A and B are shown apart, each in its own frame.
Chain A
Amino acid sequence: MTTHHLRRLALAAVLAVIGLLATACVDSNSAAEIPPGTLRIAIVAPSASNDRSFTQSLVEGVKALGDRVQYVITNNASREEAAVTIRDYAKEGYDLIIAHGSQDGGSLQEIALDFPDVSFAWGTARDTFGLDNVYAYTAASEQGGFVLGTIAAQLTETGAAGVVGPIEVGDAKFFIDGFEAGVEFQNSAVDVNTVYIGSFSNYSRAVETTKALIAQGADILTSSAQIAVGAIGVARDEKVLWLGNQADQSSLAVDFVVASQVYRWEVILEEILDSIEGGVKGGRAFTITLENGGLEIVYNNAYDLPADVRTRAGEIASGIIDGSIDPSS
C-alpha cells in the first residue's frame, strides 16, 4: 500500500511539474548589443508575430524601420500577462513600449503614470489619456474597407457578401462599417450579411460562421483580426472569394484572395520616433490613412481581377483621399 502511495505521489508530482511548465511559457528574444543612436522598442502583442493580421502588421512595420530600432516582443499575452510585461519593460528602460491591442489601455494608463520618463504607445486607439508620455495610434480602416466593399459588390454572383466579425468594437468595427458602406455605395441590391462571433480568438466559431454564411449564399467574404485565419481556410476549401485586412493574406488562399488592405505602421512609427528623438515623449495621436500611405490596397497577382473593377477601385480610393467620398457614411 505504501509503495502504491509513493508511486502515486511521484506521478502526481511529475504531472504537476509538466503542467506548470506548460502554463509558464513566455517567449522572449533578448536584444544583442546595441549600436549607439538605436532606439529600443518593446512590444506586447495579443497574438503571434506571424498571425497574418493584427500583430504581423505591426511587426512588419517595425522591421521596415531597419537599423533605426532594436525591438523585443512578447506574443500571445493575455490582459493580465500584458499588464505585468508592460511594467517589466518599463523598468528595463526601453525607449518606447508599445501595447498593441485596445484591451490593454487601462493597464497602460496606470503604468504610464508610474513611469513618466518612459514613452508608451498603444493602439488601435485615439486617446492619450491626457498624458504627455503616451502616444495613441489607429488606422482609418474604414477607408480600405470601403474600397474592398465596392470590389465585393462588383464580383459577387449570388448578390450576397459575408463578413465574419470579431467583437463589435474599434478597428474591426470601423473596417466592417466601411465595407458595408462600400457595398451599399456600389450596388445597393447586394446584401451584406455581417456576423460578429463575439471573440477575437475563437477560430472554431469563425470557421463555423464562415461555413454558415457560404451555405446561406455568400460568395465573397472578408473578416478582421486574428479569426480571419480560420475563416480564410474555409473560403479556400469552399472556393469562394476573399478580401483581406490588416496584412496581405494572399499566401493563405492563393487562388481566392482578391485584394487586401495592408497596414503600414512604419509611416506613423517614423513620426513617433522622430518625436521621441525631438524630446517629446507622447501626447499625440496618429492615424494611418490611404492619404499618408499607411493604408494600401494590395492586389493578389495570382487572382485575375477584371481591369474595370481595379480601375474603379482606384477611383474610389482617390475619391476618399480627396474627400469627395466619405467612407464612414
Chain B
Amino acid sequence: MPVELAFDFVSNSAAADVLAARRGWSGFFTFTTLVVILSSTIRLAVPYIFAAIGESIAQRSGVLNLGVDGVMLLGAFAAYYVTLETGGPWQGLGAGLTVGMAMGVLYAFITVTLHATQDISGIGIYLFGLGFSDLLFRQLVGTPIPIERFEGVFEFIVPDERLDVPYPNLYNHSIIIYLAFLLVPLAWLTVSKTTFGLNIRAAGENPEAADSLGVSVVRTRYTTIIIGNALAGVGGAALVLDKGIYFQNITNGIGFIAVALVYFGAWRPLGVLAGSLLFSLVTSAVLEWRTLGILTGAAAQLTEMVPAVITVVALVIVTRRIGQPSALTQTFSREINY
C-alpha cells in the first residue's frame, strides 16, 4: 500500500470524494486525521491525568494506592447514576468527587491508621470497586442509557450554532478537560511551593524526620490519600461524562495504567502529563487505524494489547528510579519500629 507521507493541508471539510479516497494509510497522513488524533488525544488523556496526578500526590507522601482503578469505577458509576437521575453533569462530577473522597478516607484508615500493607490493601480496594460498582449498576440501572454530557466550552460561552473557527475539535472541549490540564500546574505548585507540599515530600522521603519536627505524618498522608482518591473519583466521572455511558468495568484498567504513569513521569506533574498524553496519543492513533480500515480482523483485536505493551515498554525504557519517594509503601509508626 503506497504511503503518502506529506500531510494534506487542503481541508477538513470532509467531502465524499475526500473520504472515499482517504481510506487506509493514505487517509492516515492527512491533516484531517491529524486534527482528529490530536483532539481525541487531549480528550482521552483526561481520566489518566486526574487519576495519575492524584496518585502521584499520594505517592509523594509515601502511599501507594493500587486501588485507583476500583475508585475510578465507583466514581464513574456515581457520576453516571447521579447525572442520569438529575440530568446534570455537574452534579455527576460532584458525586464522583464525593465517592472518591469517601474511598480515600477508607483507604487512609486501612493503611495509615491500621498500618495495613499498602499493595495488598490497594488490590482489595480495586476488587471491591470492581464488584461493587457492577452490583450497583445492575441493581439501580440495569442497562446502559446515554446521559447528558458537558457541552464544549464554545457552546457554553456562545450557546449558538457552531463557531466559524478552524478545527474547533482541537479546543472546543468540555470544561472538565480544561480543568484536567489546569490541575497539572496546580499540583506542581502545591507540591513544590507550599508548606503543605514540603510536608508531603518529607513524609514520603523520611517520615521519621518529618515527625521529629512536629509534622503530622498521619494527617499529611490522610490528606494526600483523600486528594488522590478524590481525583481518581473525578477521573472516573470524567470518563463517564466523556463517553456519555456506563457499563461494567468501563475503566478497563485505566487506573492501573495511571499508577504506571506516575512511575513513568518520575513523580513529577509534568512527567505524568507527558505520559498521559503519550499514552492517549497511541490509543487514539490505534483507534484511527481501525476507523480507516488499516487494522481489521485479528490485527485489530491484537491492538487491545497495545496499552499494556506500551506501559511495559515505557517502564522498561524509563528505568531511572530517581525521584521515587524513599518511603513509598512504608507504613509509619513511632514505636512499632522498636
The interface of chain A, by Cβ under 8 A from chain B, is: 1, 4, 7-8, 11-12, 15, 18-23, 25, 27, 47-52, 75-76, 156, 158-160, 168, 189-191, 193, 195-198, 201-205, 207-209, 211-213, 215-218, 226, 229-230, 232-234, 236-237, 252-253
Specify the chain B residue showing the minimal Cβ separation from A194: B293
Docked Cα-Cα span, A217 to B291, in Å, equals 12
B114, B145, B304: the one within 8 Å of A7 (CB): B114
* B16:A226 contact, CB within 8 angstroms: no
Docked Cα-Cα span, A208 to B41, in Å, equals 11
Docked Cα-Cα span, A211 to B288, in Å, equals 10
Closest CB-CB distance, A236 to chain B, in whole Å? Answer: 7
Given contacts A22-B131, A23-B131, contact A204 B18 (CB under 8 A): no
A11, A49, A226: the one within 8 Å of B114 (CB): A11
Specify the chain A residue showing the minimal Cβ separation from B22: A216
Chain B residues within 8 Å of A52, by CB:
143, 145
Closest CB-CB distance, A68 to chain B, in whole Å? Answer: 26
B115, B132, B143: the one within 8 Å of A48 (CB): B143
7 contacts between A and B (CB under 8 A): A22-B135, A75-B142, A158-B19, A160-B19, A209-B290, A212-B40, A234-B244
Chain B residues within 8 Å of A229, by CB:
143-146, 245
Which 7 A-B residue pairings sit nearest by Cβ, starting from the closest?
A159-B16, A217-B14, A233-B146, A22-B131, A48-B143, A22-B135, A233-B244
The proximity string for B residues 291-327 relative to A, scoring 1 for CB distances below 8 Å and 0 otherwise, is: 1110011001100100000000000000000000000
* B145:A8 contact, CB within 8 angstroms: no
Closest CB-CB distance, B185 to chain A, in whole Å? Answer: 28
Interface size class, chain B: 35 or more
Chain B residues within 8 Å of A208, by CB:
40, 44, 284, 287
Chain A residues within 8 Å of B336, by CB:
1
Chain B residues within 8 Å of A47, by CB:
143
Closest CB-CB distance, A223 to chain B, in whole Å? Answer: 13
* B114:A76 contact, CB within 8 angstroms: no
Closest CB-CB distance, B247 to chain A, in whole Å? Answer: 5
* B128:A21 contact, CB within 8 angstroms: no
Given contacts A50-B143, A212-B288, contact A22 B36 (CB under 8 A): no
Docked Cα-Cα span, A208 to B336, in Å, equals 51
Chain B residues within 8 Å of A234, by CB:
244
Closest CB-CB distance, A139 to chain B, in whole Å? Answer: 20
A1, A189, A203, A209: the one within 8 Å of B16 (CB): A189
* B19:A191 contact, CB within 8 angstroms: yes
- Cβ < 8 Å to A, chain B residues 183-241: 239
Chain B residues within 8 Å of A216, by CB:
14, 19, 22, 27, 32-33, 36, 291-292
User: How many contacts between A and B, using CB within 8 angstroms?
Assistant: 167
* B243:A203 contact, CB within 8 angstroms: yes
Docked Cα-Cα span, A158 to B32, in Å, equals 14
Docked Cα-Cα span, A118 to B283, in Å, equals 49
The proximity string for B residues 1-26 relative to A, scoring 1 for CB distances below 8 Å and 0 otherwise, is: 00000000000001111111011000
Chain A residues within 8 Å of B301, by CB:
198
Interface centre among A12, A159, A208, A237 (most CB of B within 10 A): A208
User: B interface, by DSSP: helix, strand, loop or mixed?
Assistant: helix
Docked Cα-Cα span, A52 to B145, in Å, equals 9
- Cβ < 8 Å to A, chain B residues 120-174: 124, 127-128, 130-132, 134-135, 138-139, 142-147, 149, 169
The proximity string for B residues 79-122 relative to A, scoring 1 for CB distances below 8 Å and 0 otherwise, is: 00000000000000000000000000000001000111000000
B250 beta carbon closer than 8 Å to chain A: yes
Specify the chain A residue showing the minimal Cβ separation from B292: A216
Docked Cα-Cα span, A204 to B304, in Å, equals 13
* B245:A207 contact, CB within 8 angstroms: yes
Docked Cα-Cα span, A205 to B245, in Å, equals 11
A sample of 20 more A-B contacts (CB under 8 A), given A217-B19, A252-B146, is: A8-B114, A8-B116, A22-B130, A25-B135, A160-B14, A198-B301, A201-B247, A203-B144, A203-B243, A207-B243, A207-B245, A209-B290, A212-B36, A216-B291, A230-B244, A233-B146, A233-B149, A233-B244, A233-B245, A234-B244
Interface centre among A15, A76, A205, A232 (most CB of B within 10 A): A15
Chain B residues within 8 Å of A236, by CB:
146
Chain B residues within 8 Å of A226, by CB:
143-144
Chain B residues within 8 Å of A212, by CB:
36, 40, 287-288, 291
Specify the chain A residue showing the minimal Cβ separation from B333: A4
* A18:B128 contact, CB within 8 angstroms: yes
* B291:A209 contact, CB within 8 angstroms: yes
Chain A residues within 8 Å of B35, by CB:
215
B337 beta carbon closer than 8 Å to chain A: no
Given contacts A217-B19, A230-B144, contact A196 B300 (CB under 8 A): yes
Docked Cα-Cα span, A48 to B32, in Å, equals 38
